[in-house]
Structure 1
Amino acid sequence: MIFQREFKRGRKSLLIWSVILGGLIVGLLSMFPQFAEQQESLSKMMEAYPESMQKAFGLDELSLGTLMGFYGIEVHMMTTLLGSIYAAMLASNILAKEENEKTIEFLLSKPITRSQIVAQKLGVVIVNILIFNSVAAAAGLIGFQFAKDHDVPYETFALLIIAAILLHFTFAAISFMLSSVMKKTRNTLSASIALVIAAYFLNMISGISEDLDVLKYFSPFTYADASSIIKEDAINILYLVMMAAVILFSILAAFMVYQKKDISV
């Protein structure tokens, strides 16, 4: 009951975000052939950029003139950022809104436990994120049709999609935990969005200087970085473990907090 209700309430937002991201992906990949034709001039132009800027955007390891390089710099970066914002927005409201909208007492009067409430709402978050990323993956496959003269390394593409999904789950899990703690959706949403933006800039700043390299471990965006995935053709095991640990800890914390939470309206 809760799952169906929440999914219906969020399907319009899911549709809007998915259509926008899918359209942007296809639009960007449709421009790749032009970049590929001008690869030499692009390389010279990129060399003129400050070294710190090249590192911040991955231009030191990837090339806009190659299909995966273009995808990593333009598409993957946009997918991870927009997807993380969507995941944070979705998860940050889903528990807290029951108290914020004064509907929690009615919900708890039904023959359902708090654990079932948390589980079903978490299920909605998981399903929505998977649908969102499925649309992104489909849009990528459609966009690749514009690059008919270039081979598509589908295994690398799959790794980038998996990394994006795990990143979105990471931010969603943290936001879900915050939603179990806070009562006001405005506060939860603000904190979740701020977390995503701060993590994004930490990732960019960490690439500017070796002295700031340690900052990358505090940003989940580093764990889904396109340049390292494309270069190694694998997702770093340490990053996988760190994302899994954050996801599991946040979800378990959400269940535990919500079980003991003093819920009043």
Structure 2
Amino acid sequence: MNIIKRELESDFKSIIIWSISMILLIIAVMTEFDAFRDSPAINDVLDSFPDAMLSALGFLDADMTTLTGFISLISLYIYLPLSIHASLLGSSIISKEERDKTAEFLFTLPISRKKVILNKIIAATLELISLNVVTVLTIIIISMRYNPSNEYYKFLSLLFIGIFISQLIFLSIGMSIASVIKRYKKSGNISLTILLVTYIISVLIGLTDKLNFLKYITPFEYFKASYIAGNLNLKLEYIVISLIIIAIGIISTFLFYPKRDLHL
């Protein structure tokens, strides 16, 4: 518990900065909804664009005059920053002891590395939940003025469950990379590179059906807001794949980090 508290206190400033950033971002993009809500013709404008382009941008089948359609439209502004945060958190929470020169102190305590890792995972998960909750509450508070339906709230809850699972995926990837890479300074860059590559793959899949077979390797395809908005559910196959990736990331962290030489 002391390690969890220590991690949360250490990252408190970062959590506040990310939370404020997400609040301001959501406020900025949600202010545009009034303009779209009062302009049904915007859907006709979108219909004039090629389906491949709209699919790549996540605009396909999105009714921008409704709250559900608009949130589906701006979901990229939620997925990307929260995934980036999770990826960076995963790599930093494992390598920070070397970066901050506290590894020698921490690992001389009567506690195993595996227990340290477990506590760090719990702390990181709590950080993800806090940022996720701040973001969804901001959206809900702003949405209340439009008297949304129960279906909207169901869509929002499913969307953020999907986002949270995506956060856990990139958290576990970041942690596993940091536990394997000997040079801790590179782990964050590699984690972000993987995230950006998977995002680019997702965009390319939207441009052509020929790359549809790649949808299983990019988390950005697992819980697409447009699918959730139209079906009000999450695909079981993607939940299973996500859990497998998360499990592999966590298990590899437990396997490799205790054996890795630390740079003190």
Q: How many angstroms apart in 2 are the aligned matches of 1:101 and 1:252?
A: 25
Quote how far apart the aligned CAs of 1:216 are.
1.8
Contact 2:182 2:260 in 1 (8 A): no
Q: Which runs of 4+ in 1 moved over 4 A?
A: none
Shifted more, 176-185 versus 198-207: the winner is: 176-185
- The structural deviation recorded for 1:137 is 1.1
The equivalent residue for 1:19 is 20
CA contact (8 A) 2:173 2:249 kept: yes
Decide which moves more: 203-212 or 17-26.
Answer: 17-26
Letter aligned with residue 221 of structure 1: F
Of stretches 54-63 and 132-141 in structure 1, the one that deviates more from structure 2 is 54-63
**Counterpart position of 1:164:** 163
Q: Percent identity?
A: 27
**How many positions carry a matched residue from both structures?**
262
Note if 1:54 corresponds to 2:54: yes
- Specify the SS of the correspondent of 1:95: helix
Q: What is the deviation of 1:2?
A: 2.0
Question: Which amino acid in structure 1 is aligned with residue 193 of structure 2?
Answer: A
1:28 aligns with 2:26: no
1:56-100 CA distances to partner (integer Å, 9 max, x unpaired)?
1222221211211100111x2211100000111111111122234
Q: Give the structure 2 partner of residue 222 of structure 1.
A: 221
Question: In angstroms, what is the RMSD of aligned CA positions?
Answer: 1.5
Q: Which residue of 1 aligns with 2:149?
A: 151
Q: What is residue 206 of structure 1 aligned with on the other side? A: 205
Partner of 1:37: 38
Contiguous gaps of at least 5 residues in structure 1: none
Output aligned runs, 1:111-190, within 5 Å: 111-148=110-147, 150-151=148-149, 153-190=152-189
- Matched to 1:52, the amino acid is A
Assess if the C-alpha contact under 8 Å between 1:30 and 1:146 holds in 2: no
Unaligned residue ranges in structure 2 (runs of 5+): none
TM-score (norm 2): 0.94
Tell me the distance in 1 between the aligned counterparts of 2:182 and 2:136.
Answer: 35
1:69 is the counterpart of 2:62 = no
Kindly provide the amino acid, as one letter, of the partner of residue 188 in structure 1: S
Matched residue type, 1:17:
W
Deviations 1:190-214 (A, max 9, x none): 0011111111111111011111112
Equivalent residue number for residue 257 of structure 1: 256
